[in-house]
Structure 1
Amino acid sequence: MNTANDAPSLGQTLMARLDEAATFSRPGPGVTRLFCSEEHRQVLEPIGDWMRQAGLEPSLDASGNLVGRNPRAIAGEKTLILGSHQDTVTEGGKYDGMLGVALPLVALQALKEQDVELPYGVEVVAFGDEEGTRFQSTLIGSRALAGTLDDESLAARDAEGISVAEAIQAFGGEPEAIPDLARRPEQVLGFVEVHIEQGPVLESREHAVGVVTALTGIERQRVSVTGKAGHAGTTPMAGRRDALVGAAEMVVEADRLLQATDNFVGVVGKLEVRPNAVNVIPSEVTFTLELRSPDAETRARGREEILSAFRRLAEARGLEVAIERTYAAEAVACAEWLIEVLEEACDGAGEPAERMFSGAGHDGLAMHDLTDIGMLFVRCRDGLSHHPDEAITAEDAERATRVMMQFLRAMASRV
């Protein structure tokens, strides 16, 4: 039997829950948990338990989000939405996304045990999809709440040809009821997410937490390069229309242009080759190009420069190139008043916290269409994310949880 002296700390409780959530993963390195997968279904059970312990009533919504509401939220009072995503990239880490689900629940449970009653509604959402790993469409859960999820996104298909709508239906959601999920702006206080930084700034400052000022703009392109297959041993090198050689030149040129432009980053993250045979000249290559910048003009100018280079390189090798934009979200600013409340909470918890920009996209990109957004970053080791070695410390988990408790108290004066 635990006593007050040997009961686990808030940080230890949070780390144990994150370890538990990480067990719901496909076999292999790190954590792989895709939207509407069996692993997604299984992880909802412990998350639902954490919600009930925090005084929230969990339910699966029509889009595949697990939503926990306190009695005031259920009664229709003005509500603060907290949360993050449960899904991961392939072979990702255990903290990206899940930290922002588990941490506010630990904070709310601690306040409940202290008999603190918040004078406003609270929802904690485990969004079904943010990463877009299974489908090209992303931010499905947060766009559903914001009322911006469109039919085109629901029609996107995974590698097995299953559409988003079909996956949601099989998961127990109701694609046809998704429009009814849209929250009314006048009923929402704001949206706040806790997330690992995914960068090295907090480590360099020796700070556990940071307050985010804005989220980067992101776009994704699907590039298809078509050449002509042929026997690798009998076709002369001169005149070959090798789609892979052309695509390789494009990847290198994209990297060169990105390296030469400030405040502009990108990656070719996925590449598929046909027929993908050891002795056949590749006839088709499809690859993804993701571009990010906090400045819309920088991203637009850089995109046109890169895509023009792709077309020029294709023409020089007698190849055809088709380019389709599959996703775009402009940079969004966090609300100044939420930044100030988060800074007040950090100060109240004795945590130094400077303002900082997020180079990653988050559910706030979609939630910004609904309400004011705020974000708290937590230091991660070496700034590493989307990797099995992604890590935070129990001490930082404790410190960030106490900041969230201070924030929830401070929000009472803003209702």
Structure 2
Amino acid sequence: MSEYQSLAQLVMARLDELGQISQSPDYLDRRYLTAEHQQANRLVATWMSEAGMITWQDAAGNLWGRLESSVPDAPRFIIGSHLDTVPNGGKYDGMLGVIAPVAIVQMLQGTQFPLPFHLDIVGFGDEEGTRFGSTLLGSRALTGQWPDAWSKLKDENGLSLPDALRSFGLDFDNVKQADITASRPLGYLELHIEQGPVLENANLPVGVVTAISGARRFNIDVTGMAGHAGTVPMNMRLDALAATSEMILAVESQARTHGVVATVGKIENRPNGVNVISGSTRFSLDIRSEDDNHRDAVLEQIMQQFNQIAARRKLTLHVEQTHSAGAVQCDHRLQSILKTAIGECGIPTFSLPSGAGHDAMAMALMCPVAMMFLRCDKGISHHPAESILTEDVAVALAALHATIKHLAN
């Protein structure tokens, strides 16, 4: 494992260097199609070239590196993740899954290990959706999922997606050239920090992802009647906030009872005065599960409770869905190979679902996908306190190396 330990130190040093590229002097913030995105692509391309890879940037701004196979007309196998961050983010989310496999390619070059496929590493330009509000722009371009309606997307400064592409040296109308569905990739593998505490609680460095949870999101509007806090009797109030509190507790109760995750993360109250009964509220609901049917069944029960609470309190309820994404099941064969590889490293195999979305969700539209999670400190992510251990990275590198060997055989 010592060879992987020194390689892990290289990976950590590169992640530190990449983490300095930010559009803010105060925290890490690197968004799609910015000058900092371009700078990150150039830096990672340098490391890819040093590892002996051919590099290029596609029509959507994704960075590629290829370790070519000597086999004529060889297919491609893809490993990757994203290079963008959320504002005030961490330096491992996404970037680990690009930098670690580049280090493995460097090792493969030294051993002259023959591959029956091209090994492609991709650094996606946009996974987080922070700049234009629509996630997975980079990986969805690979699958041909690039709607014309995205030409209307704008960032917080009013700059449109086509204009941002143009300033990056690209063209919105040419993004379809990034589509690789015709090449029929053999598969896609993504190494990513867990962004949760499960592996840490299990005292394990890595785990195999079974599925990526599907999510549905809603805005819920509750309308009652505002009134004076001192003059309206308790039994005559149409208090939207009191009803909303009941609804929020119902969400928590149903999620705990039925084994899904559901969150009310945002709430607005009107008039929001210290001496005024709440007249209306709006709150968000995010509900997720690796089983879409189960998620939707629990959601139906939650909505029934919402309606019952509103009816009992004589309030008006309006529900608007704002997002829907189906769950993605990871490929059983690739999961099996990952488990074998991890076991060969002397690590107990452990499976877990992903509650967060990843580029693998888009890639699953065209090929089998798998993910390996790496333990992160206290499960913290999307935060400067995001932290991983060098020795865990060494385990992940060893498992990646073994996985590539098994795929080749």
Shorter-chain TM-score bucket reads 0.7 to 0.9
Q: CA distance change for structure 1 residues 305 and 69 in 2, over 3 Å: closer, same or farther? A: same
Q: Structure 1: any 5+ residue segments left out of the alignment?
A: none
User: In 2, distance between residues paired with 1:160 and 1:400?
Assistant: 40
Counterparts of residues 108-187 of structure 1 (less than 5 Å): 108-184=105-181, 187=184
Alpha-carbon distance change, 349 to 307 in structure 1, aligned in 2, over 3 angstroms: same
2:289 is aligned with 1:293: yes
Distance 2:401 2:310 in 1: 56
Cα–Cα, structure 1 residues 7 and 382, in superposed 2: closer, same or farther, change >3 Å?
closer
Q: Which runs of 5+ in 2 are unaligned?
A: none
* Deviations, residues 212-236 of structure 1 (Å, cap 9, x unaligned): 22211122335577899x9x99999
Aligned residues: 405
The yes-or-no answer on 1:208 pairing with 2:208 is no
Distance 2:72 2:244 in 1: 57
1:83–1:237: structure 2 CA closer, same or farther, 3 Å change rule? farther
Structure 2 length as normaliser, TM-score?
0.83
**1:222/1:289 contact within 8 Å kept:** yes
CA-CA distance at 1:372 after TM superposition: 0.5
User: How do residues 370-409 of structure 1 correspond to structure 2 at under 5 angstroms?
Assistant: 370-409=366-405
Instruction: Pick from 242, 260, 267 the counterpart of residue 263 of structure 2.
Output: 267
Q: How does 1:228-247 map to 2 (within 5 A)?
A: 245=241
Q: 1:298 to 1:406 in 2, by over 3 A?
A: same
User: CA separation in 2, counterparts of 1:155 and 1:247?
Assistant: 37
* Structure 1 CA distance for aligned equivalents of residues 197 and 356 of structure 2: 13
Q: Deviations over 1:318-363 (max 9, x none)?
A: 778462423x221121112111221222233333322322222211
For residues 186 and 37 of structure 1, do their structure 2 counterparts lie closer, same or farther at Cα, with a shift above 3 Å needed? closer
Per mean C-alpha deviation after superposition, the further-off stretch among 296-305 and 376-385 is: 296-305
Post-superposition shift, 1:402? 1.6
Change (3 A) 1:125 1:241: farther
Equivalent residue number for residue 358 of structure 2: 362
Q: 1:348 aligns with which of 344, 348, 355?
A: 344
* CA distance in 2 between partners of 1:120 and 1:350 (Å): 28
Q: Distance in 2 between matches of 1:37 and 1:273?
A: 36
Change (3 A) 1:26 1:265: farther
The structure 2 residue matched to 1:51, chosen from 42, 45, 48, is 48
1:252 and 1:142 mapped to 2: Cα distance?
A: 34
2:298 is matched with 302
Does the 8 Å contact 1:246/1:314 carry over to 2? no
Residues in 2 aligned to 1:28 and 1:264: alpha-carbon distance in whole angstroms: 39
Aligned residue among 88, 91, 105 for 2:88:
91
Of residues 314, 338, 349, the one that matches 2:334 is: 338
Contact 2:4 / 2:395 at 8 angstroms: preserved in 1? no
Q: Confirm or deny that 1:10 pairs with 2:7.
A: yes
Mapped partners of 2:87, 2:316: distance in 1: 31
Contact 1:24 1:42 in 2 (8 A): yes
**Which sits farther off after the overlay, 65-74 or 333-342?**
65-74
2:75 maps to what in 1? Answer: 78
CA distance in 1, matches of 2:210, 2:16: 30
The CA distance in 2 between the partners of 1:38 and 1:278, in whole Å, is: 46
Alpha-carbon offset, residue 405 of structure 1? 1.4
Identity %: 39
RMSD value, Cα: 3.8
The TM-score, its normalising length taken from structure 1, stands at: 0.82
